[in-house]
Structures are given as structure tokens and as C-alpha cells.
Amino acid sequence: MAQQGTAMVVGASRGLGLALVEEWLGRGWRVIATVRKPSADLDGLAQRFPDRLEIETVDIAHADQVRALRERLGGRRLDVAFINAGIARSIEATPASISETDFLDMMLVNALSPVRAAEILRDIVPPGGAIAIMTSGLGSIADAQDGWQLYAASKAALNMLMKKYASRHAADGHALLLVAPGWVRTDMGGRDATLSLEESIPLVVDTVEANRGKPGLRYVDRFDKTLPW
Ligand SMILES: NC(=O)c1ccc[n+]([C@@H]2O[C@H](COP(=O)([O-])OP(=O)(O)OC[C@H]3O[C@@H](n4cnc5c(N)ncnc54)[C@H](OP(=O)(O)O)[C@@H]3O)[C@@H](O)[C@H]2O)c1
């Protein structure tokens, strides 16, 4: 199979991130996948694809770790940087009932840290490459429904921070994608979610690939359909 390019998936130990890695490996890409601690599932993929999968360690909530990762990558080039890491805490809570720690953790991991990681990694994504971040349809203010209130607020904050990033870094020539994968059965999505990984992730990867070479920011679902902010 022809070598397609290099994708980095940040937050790839399980769930959607692990599936993104497997999908890009299956398409012939070289993949750099990051974890916080060893993942048996990812190690299994490394045994299947020893020449094309590299595993790195980073916790995106720690800027020093992201900068150290950037240093280790040296002059490498990333055709796609996909920041998938995210958390959901106290999903039934309201502003009156949530633990402040849970809210602050979600704002740090879901909103600030992905955009900070983009800032740190952007210089090794060439013009025409893509920086994608996993957001959620719940991050849409225009479409806001009840439920997952503080998590939704963290994804809306992520979307806003990416809008600001996009205007500051328009000259980079990157496709900047905020991707909503749909409601998917993972540890976070739970068993009642409507979609399997196979029903979401190949379409997410299609969407990223379709947007390479198209500079600018888009908030899209897995079908590459634009979502309302
Ligand atoms: N599942 C859904 O229905 C759904 C819908 C919309 C959006 N999303 C978003 O999709 C992304 C992945 O969700 P998922 O369903 O796959 O969740 P998941 O099964 O809970 O997996 C979350 C992943 O993020 C990693 N992670 C968490 N905090 C991190 C940090 N500080 N630094 C680095 N990695 C970190 C986790 O690593 P560890 O194993 O080390 O914890 C794990 O690999 C998230 O951004 C989520 O908000 C999910």
C-alpha cells in the first residue's frame, strides 16, 4: 500500500482516539499516537503495524509535557494533527450542583489544552495540512439542548478558542477542523449511544482527508456538514 502521510492522534489509548489510529493505519498512513499511560489495545496495534505506528506519551493538561513532545518530534512533519483527548465529568450536574473541580478540569482538558497543543505543534504541520480537534455537537450554542451542561460549555469554549486561533494563524494555510463525531459507544458515550465506532470514525477520517488543502476553520459533523456555532 502506498504511504499516505503522517497523522498524529493525541489521546489514543481507547475509544475514538484508538479507532482513529486504527483507521489511519488501515489506510496506509504512518501514525504517531499519544497516551498518558500504556494502553494494551494500542500496543496490540503497534505489534500489527510495527513500521508505521509510534507511541508517544503526553498529558495535554500539562504544557511542559506538550512542549517536551514537540521537542522530541524535532523536524518531523505532520500532515494531520488530531487532538482527540477529552473528558466528561458530572454530566447531570447544573452550575448550582457541579463540583468546581470537575468544571475546571473540563475547561482545562477540553477547552484550553487542545488549543494550546495546536499552538505548540502548528509549526510542524506544513501549509495544506490539517489540525483537527474533537469537539461535540453539544458545543453548539445555537443548537443547545438540555443535558451535559458543563461539558457542553467546555466544548463551546473550545470552539471559541479555535475561532480566535484561526484568526491569529490564518497565514499558516492549515485546514482547522472542529469535528463532532456523533454520539458514539465509548467509555464516555456509554452503552446507549446511537453509533458504533465503525459508524463514526471512518467518516470522521474521510472528513479530515476531504478538508486537507482547504485552509480555514470549519465546525463540522462526521459527514463534513457545517454545524451552527
Ligand atoms: N463518545 C461520544 O459520543 C463523543 C461525542 C462527542 C465528542 N466526543 C469527544 O471525543 C473525544 C474522545 O471521546 P471518547 O468517547 O473516545 O472518550 P473516552 O473513551 O473517555 O476516551 C478519552 C480519551 O482521551 C484521553 N485523555 C483524557 N484526558 C487526557 C489528557 N489530559 N491528556 C491526554 N489524553 C487525555 C484518554 O486517555 P486515558 O485513557 O489516559 O484516560 C482517552 O484516550 C473527547 O474529546 C470527547 O469529548 C465524544
- 161-172 tens-digit pLDDT: 999 999 999 999
- 175-202 tens-digit pLDDT: 999 999 999 999 999 999 999 999 999 9
Within 13 Å and on the Cβ side, how many CA atoms surround 34? Answer: 23
Percent of the chain exceeding pLDDT 90 equals 97
Nearest residue by C-alpha to atom 36 in ligand 1: 11
The reported pLDDT for the residue numbered 154 is 98
**Which domains, ranges and CATH numbers included, belong to the chain?**
6-221 (3.40.50.720)
228 pLDDT tier (thresholds 50, 70, 90): very high
Nearest atom, ligand 1, residue 182 CA: 5
CA-CA distances (angstroms) from residue 122 to 201, 202, 221?
A: 24, 24, 23
Residues lining ligand 1, judged by CB closer than 6 Å? Answer: 11, 13-17, 36-37, 59-61, 84-87, 109, 134, 136, 180-181, 183-184, 186-189, 193
Distance in Å, CA 2 to ligand 1 centroid? 30
- 120-137 tens-digit pLDDT: 999 999 999 999 999 999
Percent of the chain exceeding pLDDT 70 equals 99
Nearest atom, ligand 1, residue 137 CA: 6
Judged on CB neighbours under 10 Å (0-12, 13-18, 19+), 204 is: buried
What's the grid cell of residue 206?
A: 474521510
The reported pLDDT for the residue numbered 171 is 97
Mean pLDDT over 41-69 rounds to: 98
The reported pLDDT for the residue numbered 3 is 61
The reported pLDDT for the residue numbered 4 is 84
